[in-house]
């Protein structure tokens, strides 16, 4: 009599862990995105906006925002039994950009979260990842009341390379955020494969 392998005898799978950054302008929804998808209680480093910070923090378009990330957000999601993503949300204001180099070390790829009402706010993140050759995906957070544009229009407005994926998402919805993260991983792995391809003469 043949016996199949018992599920008890299967060795536990040691998952691959990958680091993904979540970047974008001030108030675009980075903390919300990490919190929506994380399977652990997210680590947040939020502080209340102060009167002292108002001259340097541009709150135009997000006047109702009362807190800001001052270091990072951290969360974790298991995409498959053998694949775990660690998510690091970056602070959005210019005065905290010195933290980006530390957060970017060892990152496989990044999400640049965008708001069509303040699209120019994500230029800095796009430039940062392009200069450092870190693969990224642009995710347009579809705020209520914001104009909706085709992904091709967003890609042209941000002057992105054709291979950079642009997706629409709702940073509050777990399934929507998961789709964005899958796209980031696939894009980053395809980028790594291209780098490994032998040069043709």
pLDDT of residue 54: 47
Q: Indicate the average pLDDT of the chain.
A: 84
What is the average per-residue pLDDT within 66-70?
48
Contact indicator for 35, 87 with CB cutoff of 8 Å: no
Contact indicator for 43, 100 with CB cutoff of 8 Å: no
pTM above 0.85, yes or no: no
Chain segment 135-175, per-residue pLDDT in tens: 999 999 999 888 899 999 999 999 999 999 999 999 999 99
- Residue 101 is given by DSSP the state H
For the residues of 4-26, what is the DSSP string, one character each?
A: PPPTTTSPPP--EEEEEEEEEST
161 class by beta-carbon count within 10 Å (0-12 exposed, 13-18 middle, 19+ buried): exposed
143 class by beta-carbon count within 10 Å (0-12 exposed, 13-18 middle, 19+ buried): middle
């Amino acid at each position: 009599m043949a016996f199949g392998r018992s599920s008890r005898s299967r060795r536990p799978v040691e998952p691959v862990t990958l680091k993904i950054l979540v970047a974008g302008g001030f108030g675009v929804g980075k903390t919300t995105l990490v919190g929506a998808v994380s399977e652990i209680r997210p680590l947040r480093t939020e502080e209340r906006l102060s009167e002292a910070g108002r001259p340097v923090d541009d709150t135009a378009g997000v006047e109702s925002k009362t807190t800001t990330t001052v270091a990072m957000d951290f969360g974790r999601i298991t995409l498959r039994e053998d694949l775990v993503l660690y998510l690091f949300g970056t602070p959005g204001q210019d005065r905290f950009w010195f933290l980006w180099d530390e957060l970017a070390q060892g990152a496989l790829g990044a999400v640049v979260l965008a708001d069509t009402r303040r699209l120019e706010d994500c230029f800095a993140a796009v430039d940062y990842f392009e200069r450092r050759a870190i693969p990224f995906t642009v995710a347009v957070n579809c705020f209520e009341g914001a104009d909706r544009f085709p992904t091709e229009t967003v890609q042209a407005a941000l002057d992105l390379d054709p291979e950079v994926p642009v997706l629409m998402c709702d940073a509050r919805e777990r399934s929507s955020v998961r789709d964005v993260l899958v796209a980031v991983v696939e894009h980053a792995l395809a980028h790594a494969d291209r780098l490994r391809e032998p040069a043709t003469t």
